[in-house]
Structure 1
C-alpha cells in the first residue's frame, strides 16, 4: 500500500452532496499513457510527425475511478505499480483528481505499466500498445484489511484475476454489488462472471463470449443465462452507435417505453428480446428488456481522442448505481460523460463534472 491518506472532495461534492458518502473501489489496471496524434496511421517503415502529444495517467480501473470522482463519489483504486518515476506519476495523477490511492500496491524494483497510444486524426481511431507489469496483484493483496469497509460498489475491470476473484467473492458475501468491465475473454473471466451484478462491455465482447450466437443481443442473452447468472443486466457500448442494455424482468405489459431528460438530445427506448414472433412452436426462452440509448452529440471540436471513453462511461454508470438511479437515467448519464470524454486528448483529458452536464442528468 502506498500509505497516502484520502484526498479532499472535489467541487462536485458541493453540487451534489448526497453522493459524497458513497465510495467505490476499482480493481485492475493503472498505468501511464504516452499519446501521439498523427494525421493518418503510418504505413510500415514510415517516418511521420505528431501533431500533438501528451503523457497522462491511464488504465481502465484508474480511469473509471477518476470519472466517478469527478462526479462526486469517493473512489479508491487497488492496482499494482512500481517504485519508479512512472509509478510516482501514476499515483500523483490519481491523487490530483481526488482518488484514494492508499490501496495501491507499490512493488520495489518493478517497472510500472505503460501504454503507447497512436491517435489517427483522419480515421478517428486509436491504437494501443500496452506494456504490462511483470507481475500481477495476488490473493494476499486482495485480503488486505479494510479494503471493502464502507464500499458501496466494487468495480473490477476484468484484469488482475488472482486478486479480483477473491475480492468479488468477499463483496458478494458482504452484500456489496459488483460491476464488471468486460473487453475480452481473459484469464479469470469465467470465474468473475458468476460473481457480478452488472456488466458493461464493448461491442465485441458478447460475440467473443458466445460466438455460436446469431447477433449481439442473442450473445448478450446467452451471457446472462450461462455466465453472469446473477447479473441483473449487461450493457454493450458501441461508440457512435450508442449503447444497448439487456436486462432481466422486462416491463410487465411488454409495451415500448421512452425516457427523454429535459433539454437533452437523447431518448432512451425500451423494447423486448426475443422480439415478438408468430411461430407457435418456437421456444421463446427468457423474455428480456432491451434498453437502447443513442450516442451523445459530438463536442464542437469533434472527436479528438476516444481513449478512455468507455472507462468514463463506466464511471458514470457506477455513480448512477450508487445513487439508486433507474437504468434509463444511468445510461443517459453514461453516454453524456463518454461523449464529453472524446473531446479531449488522453484518457482523462475530456472528462467532465456536473457543471459540464445538463441539470436534468443529475442523479
Structure 2
C-alpha cells in the first residue's frame, strides 16, 4: 500500500448548534456548544488514519492547549505527526462554526500557526516528504506554499490531490501539478470563473480546468455523490442515502477516502464510490473528525449499497 501525506491546516473547531443562522445584527440563543479538533488538513489526515491508512500530517500548531490536544488526537487516530511543528508566540488555528437545524454550516477561520507554513519549512523537510507517495492539499495554508510544494513534488513523480477550499482563483501554473482536483459546485464555479446552472455548465467548467492541465476533476455533489470528469468523458457516481446531522468535514472525509482507496490501487470508479461512502457516513453525527467513520463502517455501507 502506498503512503499518504497531508500537507495543510490544523485547527480546533468551536461549534455552536442553532435552530437557524442569525441575520446581520441579530442575536440568537444557541442550543449547544462543542469543541472539536479540525482544520481541513488535520481532518483529512485523521479520516485516513481511521481508515487504517499509512498517513502522516505536515503542518504547524501554536504552543497552547489546543496544539497539545491536536498532537494527542492525531496520535490516537494513527496519524504520524512528526511533521507537525510548534510555533512559539502564535495561537493554533481556530475555526468558529455554526450548524443549523438542517445540518448546514457557516465557518469562519482564524489561521494562527497555519499562516507560518512557508517555503522554508518545506525545503527543510523535503527529504522526509519524499518518503510518501500520495499528497493531499487544501487552501487553508498560504497559497504560495501550496503552489511551491505541489510543483516540487510533481517533479519527483508524486501523486497530487488538491481540495480547492476555501475557494479562490488559482494561478494557471498550479493546474498541471494536480492529478485529482476535488471541488464542490461552488468551488468549481470560482475556479472556472463562470456560473454553473446546469450539467452543461458543469461540464464546460470542468473542461476549462482540464485544459489548464488538471489530470481528473472529481466534483463533489453532496448527497448526490460525485462526478468523475476527465478528457475521455464524464461519469456520475451516486451517493449513499444516510440521515445527515452535520455536513462539517464531509468533503474532507471524501478526499481522505479517495486517497486511501487510491493507495490500495484499482479502478478509479471504485475509488470514488469508496470516497462517497466515507463522505456520507461523516455526516451522520456532529463534528468533523469525531464523525469520521472507521473502515468496517465504510465496508458495511458499501455492501448494503
Checking the alignment, whether the CA contact within 8 Å between 1:137 and 1:162 is kept in structure 2 is no
1:336 to 259, 262, 277: 277
Q: Which has the larger radius of gyration?
A: 1
User: Is 1:156 equivalent to 2:137 in the alignment?
Assistant: yes
Checking the alignment, whether the CA contact within 8 Å between 1:68 and 1:315 is kept in structure 2 is yes
Mapped to 2, the partners of 1:120 and 1:185 lie a distance apart of 22
- The residue correspondences of 1:182-221 to structure 2 (distance < 5 A) are 182-186=164-168, 189-212=171-194, 215-221=201-207
**CA 1:84–1:361 in structure 2 vs 1: closer, same or farther (change >3 Å)?**
same
Checking the alignment, whether the CA contact within 8 Å between 1:35 and 1:54 is kept in structure 2 is yes
1:222 to 181, 202, 208: 208
Q: Which residue of 1 aligns with 2:75?
A: 95
Q: Which residue of 1 aligns with 2:245?
A: 304
**SS where residue 261 of structure 2 aligns?**
helix
User: Is 1:353 equivalent to 2:289 in the alignment?
Assistant: no
**CA 1:174–1:361 in structure 2 vs 1: closer, same or farther (change >3 Å)?**
farther
Q: Which residue of 2 aligns with 1:291?
A: 235
Mapped to 2, the partners of 1:107 and 1:183 lie a distance apart of 24
Q: Which residue of 1 aligns with 2:48?
A: 68
Deviates more, 1:25-34 or 1:351-360: 351-360
Deviations 1:39-73 (A, max 9, x none): 22234444433333321111111111111111121
Q: Which residue of 1 aligns with 2:99?
A: 119
**CA 1:39–1:356 in structure 2 vs 1: closer, same or farther (change >3 Å)?**
same
Checking the alignment, whether the CA contact within 8 Å between 2:176 and 2:215 is kept in structure 1 is no
Q: Which residue of 1 aligns with 2:107?
A: 128
**SS where residue 104 of structure 1 aligns?**
strand
Task: Report how far residue 336 of structure 1 moved.
Answer: 0.6
Structure 1: gaps (5+ residues): 1-18, 251-288
Mapped to 2, the partners of 1:140 and 1:34 lie a distance apart of 30
> What's the RMSD between the two structures over aligned residues?
2.1
Checking the alignment, whether the CA contact within 8 Å between 1:140 and 1:163 is kept in structure 2 is no
Task: Report how far residue 361 of structure 1 moved.
Answer: 4.7
**SS where residue 112 of structure 2 aligns?**
coil
Checking the alignment, whether the CA contact within 8 Å between 2:168 and 2:190 is kept in structure 1 is no
Mapped to 2, the partners of 1:184 and 1:339 lie a distance apart of 20
**CA 1:193–1:54 in structure 2 vs 1: closer, same or farther (change >3 Å)?**
same
**CA 1:326–1:359 in structure 2 vs 1: closer, same or farther (change >3 Å)?**
farther
Mapped to 2, the partners of 1:233 and 1:163 lie a distance apart of 22
Deviations 1:230-285 (A, max 9, x none): x321111121232111012x3xxxxxxxxxxxxxxxxxxxxxxxxxxxxxxxxxxx
Using the size of structure 1 for normalisation, the TM-score is 0.76
Checking the alignment, whether the CA contact within 8 Å between 1:183 and 1:204 is kept in structure 2 is no
Checking the alignment, whether the CA contact within 8 Å between 2:170 and 2:191 is kept in structure 1 is no
**CA 1:43–1:166 in structure 2 vs 1: closer, same or farther (change >3 Å)?**
closer
